[in-house]
A and B are shown apart, each in its own frame.
Chain A
């Protein structure tokens, strides 16, 4: 099956207690104006209550200020899924982020299949951000689990947190071999760096000292660069 036949549909599991999942999703959306148009951000009520609302100034600093956000406050998971499906039919959107808390009943295998079909038909990238959810059945070709990691070194102030790092585990993928990486957002190159996790020593010694794995070509259109 070629890459093109797979829907541009990615699932990311994370906790509402930290912003790692949101950070990784937004960092992967940072494609330097490859697609113009607003981002549709669908949140159900519990996700908004537990994890807060997206905050424009911070997001614009992360992904550049060319794409505004259209936020949809859904009451529950079913309504969030309906809004996502409507959004996937609109080609003027640059991406749809669906944020669902926990495991709502409406979000089953069939629902993900419907989302996948629509995403594939209209080629609108869909990111399903599963907050505090348990892994269940899904059609998504790529499924990530994101945890926060200690940040890189801040060159200006050693006591301050530096560039954000996340522990990104691709635990299921139909495009690549699953694996576990330390992900970091390269703001200048508009992509995400994936480095093999350090086996020993303290995390946070800088990217230049991290052991390099063999670079591999990564398909799928995602702005992912492996080191």
Chain B
């Protein structure tokens, strides 16, 4: 059951069959239904998300006809005039819609009628999959309840009190009487007479179809297949970038499709660290793919598309004709990522952790949209509790490496140890710095670490740690590891 905020606490927005059987009804207060049925599961309704999903579904449903609009919060209206025969008639089209909606996981109630009002009424109050023609329209509508006329609650109540329960009852009343009682038009848009006329087709009711979202796509069809598409790309890219400039957008994700004459299509993607509409830069990101391109018998269609766009305002060049340093950096990140893979170009990703290897890891730089401050001069901002500075190595091994202890003493680090098959003797040491495991995320047997900064004879400063204590009951005798290198 989904709940929305009502005037006096949450009310039921939608419920499944089980909940309806238990007594839940739309518009009822959640507390009342809870009293009836304590085991009711309530989740908050996402009204904005529903509206967005309905808009997407409306655009998707243009597969059946070019003219569609969302109708209320739970309906869609499709103007299939002249397109139903493409699907083999209206019955076949409704069957196809059922199948496709079922594939999406949606159940749909469908009806086909000559007017918007009649289709609305039949879909909600008629028999499933009703198809009505202009001849059968009055007969089909007559047995439907008054609620099928899209009237407001007050008018419905008045009609109910007058004993008019069916549309047929309303049709039998003279028009002049209805007009005198409820008004004809003017400020009362939803008068019974007007709605009746709309449903029967005496008054026009056009469907306003929202335009599809702008798609930044440029298709280049070539007269002859070419083996190397590169000479045609600058034109296509310039056209795409002109589109982007006009709309004040920049591409974050660029897609190039190359269609071969034998029907094979190759798709290449390039992502950028910040929105861009510089044709030369975007072309350069795609350059890598042309080195290993299999042209077959040649390409005859080239498509460039900005698959994801973000607003990008006009940038002003500096007086010395140089681009902004943030743009220059993003350009560098894009180029490196396009060539070497996004995972190879990394920027630090600090986390709130006191385990050294978790405190700062390396994350792909291109994915960092919200953390541009990390690459800006000034670096990480402060804020919150700042731990006292501890001495940390400048290099951290990817994994702590186990060292062989040659000569140990009860306290402090071993006097002699062997690392990577070479023996070392410790001359000086500092420590320990005890770092406890993060008990809230690690398993219970995780052991603490005692870190020492040691200097071996002949120079060389290392960061050693002993994992665990002798007799902490979490495994055998503690092991020694080398974790980092000091300058």
Contact = CB atoms under 8 A, between A and B. Distances in A.
B380 interface: yes
A105 interface: no
A154 B430 CA distance: 10
Interface in B334-375: 335-336, 339-340, 343-348, 350, 356, 359-360, 362, 365, 374-375
Given A18-B459, A19-B486, A69 B348 contact: yes
10 contacts: A19-B461, A20-B460, A22-B487, A48-B398, A67-B377, A68-B374, A149-B459, A160-B453, A161-B455, A164-B487
A65 B395 CA distance: 16
Given A19-B393, A52-B395, A54-B394, A69 B347 contact: yes
A54 B360 CA distance: 10
B460 A18 contact: yes
A79 interface: yes
Contacts of B397: 52
A75 to B, nearest CB: 8
A62 B328 CA distance: 27
Contact of A71 (B346, B378, B461, B484): B346
Q: Pick from B329, B348, B427 the residue with the most CB of A within 10 Å.
A: B348
Nearest to B331: A90
B394 A160 contact: no
A125 interface: no
Contacts of B430: 154, 157, 159-161
A59 interface: yes
Interface residues of A, number: 63
Interface in B372-416: 374-380, 389, 391-398
A147 interface: yes
B186 interface: no
Nearest to A79: B340
B339 A82 contact: yes
Interface in B160-201: none
B332 interface: yes
Contacts of A147: 459
Nearest to A49: B398
A23 B375 CA distance: 22
Interface in B452-487: 453-455, 457-462, 484-487
B348 A18 contact: no
Contacts of B336: 72, 83, 86-87
Interface of B: 322, 325-326, 328-329, 331-333, 335-336, 339-340, 343-348, 350, 356, 359-360, 362, 365, 374-380, 389, 391-398, 420, 422, 427-430, 453-455, 457-462, 484-487
Contact of B322 (A74, A75, A91): A91
A37 interface: yes
Contact of A92 (B325, B395, B462, B487): B325
Contacts of B393: 19, 55, 58
B395 A19 contact: yes
B368 to A, nearest CB: 11
Given A37-B377, A52-B397, A150-B458, 7 more contacts: A18-B460, A18-B461, A19-B485, A38-B329, A51-B485, A56-B350, A157-B430
Contacts of A157: 430
B484 A52 contact: yes
Contact of A160 (B365, B374, B428, B459): B428
Contacts of B428: 151, 154, 159-161
B348 A68 contact: yes
A70 B347 contact: yes
Contacts of A53: 362, 395-396, 398
Contacts of B356: 55, 57
A68 B347 contact: yes
Contacts of A98: none
A175 interface: no
A148 B484 contact: no
A4 interface: no
Contacts of A36: 377
A148 B344 contact: no
A26 B393 CA distance: 13
B334 to A, nearest CB: 10
